[in-house]
Amino acid sequence: MPLNRKVGYVNLSTGEIEVKPISLEIRKKFLGGRGLNAYLLYNNTEQGIDPLGPDNTIMFAGGLLCATLASATSRCDIMAKSPLTNLLGSTNMGGFFTPELAWAGFHHLVVKGKADKPVYLFVHNGEIEIRDAKNVWGKSVTETQWEIRRELRDEEVKCAVCGPAGENLVRYANVMTGIKNSCGRSGMGAVMGSKNLKAVAARGTMDIKIAHPSEALEFNKRFIHQITSAKVNQTMGTLGTAFIWGATNSWGGVRTRNFQYNQCEYADEVEPEALDEICAETMGPYHMTGCFGCQVHCRAQYKIPSGPYAGRYDEGPEYTSQGAFSSEPDCPDAETLLTANHLVDQYGVDNLEIGSLISWAMELYELGIITSKETDGLDLRFGNSEAVIEMIDRICFRKGWLGDTLAEGGIRASEIIGKDSFEYLIQVKGMSNLHSDERSTPGLALNIATASRGSDHLRSRPAIDLYHLPEDVLRRIYSSPVPYDGPLTSEHTSYEGKAWPVFWQENTFMGVDSLGICKYHTTFLGATLPNFEDWSKVLYYNTGLEMTPKEIWDAAERSNAMERLFNLREGLEREDLKKGDMLNHRYFDEPARRGAPDVIGSMLDKDRFRKMIDEFYEYKGLDEAGNFKPETLERLGLDKEPTHLL
């Protein structure tokens, strides 16, 4: 049964390994995946620890439904204290790693301490081994995975690895699996590197008994039809997530030249149709692929068509790579985009963070805040594609003063650079913003300001705000499983009626992250896609666990509260520009300069935005300062945390 998958505790300092069952009580409170990770993080770390020290604890987890008959249940969640933000570090990826981990008998691994030499973990059919990683230390993401397979003499082994960026303690290094599946954001690869942990390898042949297999299969047929019939997923299966960037850029919603503009001009080479042509030319007509158990196949395959890396294979590029390497540095050419995407995949570094910081440095260079002395002669002006590629290498290997400085992340880099550099850093809680521009969409702005791990489009983004859905449709969506009769509007520029959708999406995303379901199979980009009613059924049919839609909502709300409790313990304050729920001043002071009529001239009203935060806090059960009210913690059963139940 999925419910009998275990949690493994590994202490790399002592070599101790312990395996424990996960009680039904804990399952009902936190489900699994990200939700249970939040509980484990709060209960296994002390306040104020060094994120790159041995006292940090890193959790690897699959959702409760991973490796079952439920569609698109491959998601992996990794969590620790973030070396980038000193707050919650949390990240999520697809691929094939967590289904293999589940077949090996585990849903969660909790890793503490630091090995005295490079190691990797091998998880196989209920057993966990600590193995020597000297042969893979220093290798790229893909080289590491193939070398471990050769060593174990099994090509079915699946690995979660850190690349050279993680080994070099770049504070926003990724954990990777496959070619490009990325646990990006918040620096979990650096935590692995700090522990001398190169990889976690999984291979399992243990059966997972499905509670009600006939019903699970029948329901999943309907589930798949619901997913594949949605136009957004049909487009995704043809053009990948690149289509989102194309639509957003046409409207005027992408940051360009750091945050000076909001539309990338002359971008024909990096439009989704142009990228699709390159993929077809280099890989053939059937170049789309996907993760375990998914029918959408949103990921393109390509070979770099020209330049020094011509012929190299990779996958993507995703929406975030287009922003990081095309619009933000104003380098809209295909070779730069595809090469940069390949390098960050091989080095194991967050594409969004590194692209944003390079673009920030470009603005500082053009303003004279940093000079050719700090760049070692590199011409760091916007539009210099060669500089983008060079800086990726410098940062991941900490070459030169600027490469080493930017490897520290934006907050620390701004403190090193000084002058007015922080004013131009587009970040929340120390994490660089997505390349999107939310000045004309207050609901989306509220999302990135209040997201638990820093500026984030994957924690609570009400993306369907942009669809102008009728109010009665919005009310049907946002009134389940919890009734809601407050204000709602289909107008994306409104400040009213937006706090509840952000709160609703926050619980939706936590729910699927805890179950292991991909967000593209939820009410994220598609208004008709599955939600709590469906998850209650799919959970029962596959695991036998009976939870109502409201109980799943409660588990998600409780888990989100655990994440905020961790942040509050580590110093989160409401309007702290480095650790709080507030946006860079440019959102409020500088109007958008390009785009559609409803975009040009837009900027956020700070007083109205603060009122949105007040309303959002009320839904979360927080006081005006952003702290939990005692009755909220009591209602959620969190008033006695940490409880150390697992």
Name the pLDDT band for 460 (thresholds 50, 70, 90). very high
Cβ atoms 229, 22 nearer than 8 A: no
Q: What values do phi and psi take at 490, rounded to 5?
A: -85, 0
Matching residue, tokens 């303003």:
367
Return the closest-CA partner of residue 395 out of 360, 367, 435.
360
Residue 186: count other Cβ atoms within 10 Å of its Cβ.
34
Reply yes or no: is the peptide bond before residue 317 cis, omega within 30 of 0.
yes
β-strand pairing of 119-124 with 197-203: parallel
Q: Are 70 and 227 in contact (CB under 8 A)?
A: no
| Contact yes or no for 431/84 (Cβ under 8 A) | yes
**Tokens 């609703």 — which residue?**
504
Which pLDDT belongs to residue 339? 98
**pLDDT of 528 strictly over 90:** no
Eight-class DSSP state of 424: G
| In the predicted structure, residue 511 carries a pLDDT above the cut 90 | yes
Of all residues in the chain, the percent with pLDDT exceeding 90 is 94
pLDDT tens digit sequence for 272-300:
999 999 999 999 999 999 999 998 999 99
Residue 230 is predicted with a pLDDT of: 86
Q: Which residues are within 8 A (CB) of 250 and not within 5 positions of it... i.e. 6 or more apart?
A: none
| Cis, bond preceding 642 (omega within 30 deg of 0) | yes
Q: What does the DSSP 8-state code read for residue 254?
A: B
Edge-to-edge strands of the sheet including 299-303? 288-289, 299-303, 313-315
**pLDDT score of 609:** 98
Q: Token match 């590194």: residue?
A: 354
247 contacts: CB under 8 Å, gap ≥ 6? none
Q: How far apart are CA 351 and CA 506, in angstroms?
A: 24
Which tens digits make up the pLDDT trace of 131-140? 999 999 999 9
Distance of alpha carbon 395 from alpha carbon 183, whole angstroms? 19
With cut-offs at 50, 70 and 90, classify the pLDDT of residue 51: very high
How many Cα neighbours within 13 Å face the side chain of 227?
26
- pLDDT-derived band at 86 (thresholds 50, 70, 90) equals very high
What proportion of the chain, given as a percentage, has pLDDT over 70?
A: 100
**Single-letter code of the amino acid located at 636:** L
Residue 319 makes CB contacts below 8 A (sequence gap 6+) with 241, 242, 244, 245
Q: What is the mean pLDDT of residues 65-71?
A: 94
Q: What is the predicted pLDDT for the residue at 12?
A: 98
CA 376, CA 397: separation in Å to the nearest integer? 15
Architecture of domain 231-432: Orthogonal Bundle (1.10)
Q: Where are the alpha helices (DSSP H) in 138-200?
A: 141-152, 164-167, 188-194
Residue type, 488: L
Provide the angle, in degrees to the nearest 10, between the axes of the packed helices 242-251 and 272-283: 150
Query: What whole-number distance in Å separates Cα of residue 8 and Cα of residue 27?
Result: 16
Given a cut of 90, is residue 521 above it in pLDDT? no
The CA-atom distances, in angstroms, between 611 and each of 493, 561, 589 are: 15, 21, 18
**Domain 2-203, CATH class in plain words:** alpha beta
Q: Which residues is 403 bridged to in the sheet? A: none
Report residue 227's pLDDT band, with 50, 70 and 90 as the boundaries: confident
| pLDDT greater than 90 at residue 396 | yes
Mean pLDDT of the chain: 96
With vertex at residue 606, the alpha carbon angle to CA 427 and CA 412, rounded to the nearest 5 degrees, is 20
For the chain, the domains span: 2-203, 231-432, 442-636
The pair of three-digit structure tokens given for residue 321, joined into one six-digit string: 């790579």
Question: Given pLDDT bands bounded at 50, 70 and 90, which one contains residue 2?
Answer: confident
Cβ–Cβ < 8 Å for 60, 528: no
Confidence of residue 331 (pLDDT cuts 50, 70, 90): very high
**Alpha carbons 102 and 99: distance in angstroms, whole number:** 5
Contact of 65 with 216, CB cutoff 8 Å: no
Distance CA 315, CA 441 (A): 31
354, 344 contact by CB (below 8 A): yes
pLDDT at 1 over 80: no
Q: Look up residue 107 and give its DSSP letter.
A: E
Question: Which residues have C-beta within 8 Å of that of residue 240, sequence separation ≥ 6?
Answer: 272, 275, 276, 288, 298, 299, 300, 316, 318
pLDDT of residue 644: 96
| pLDDT score recorded for residue 633 | 98
The whole-number pLDDT of residue 524 equals 87
> pLDDT, tens digit, for every residue of 169-203?
999 999 999 999 999 999 999 999 999 999 999 99
CATH of region 442-636 = 1.10.599.10
pLDDT at 82: 98
Q: How many CB atoms lie within 10 A of CB 555?
A: 25
Q: What is the mean pLDDT of residues 519-524?
A: 89
pLDDT of 349-382, one tens digit each?
999 999 999 999 999 999 999 999 999 999 999 9
Cα–Cα distance, 512 to 519 (Å, whole number): 7
Strand (E) or helix (H) holding 353: helix 351-367
Are 351 and 184 in contact by the 8 Å Cβ rule? The answer is: yes
Residue 349 has φ and ψ, to the nearest 5°, of -140, 150
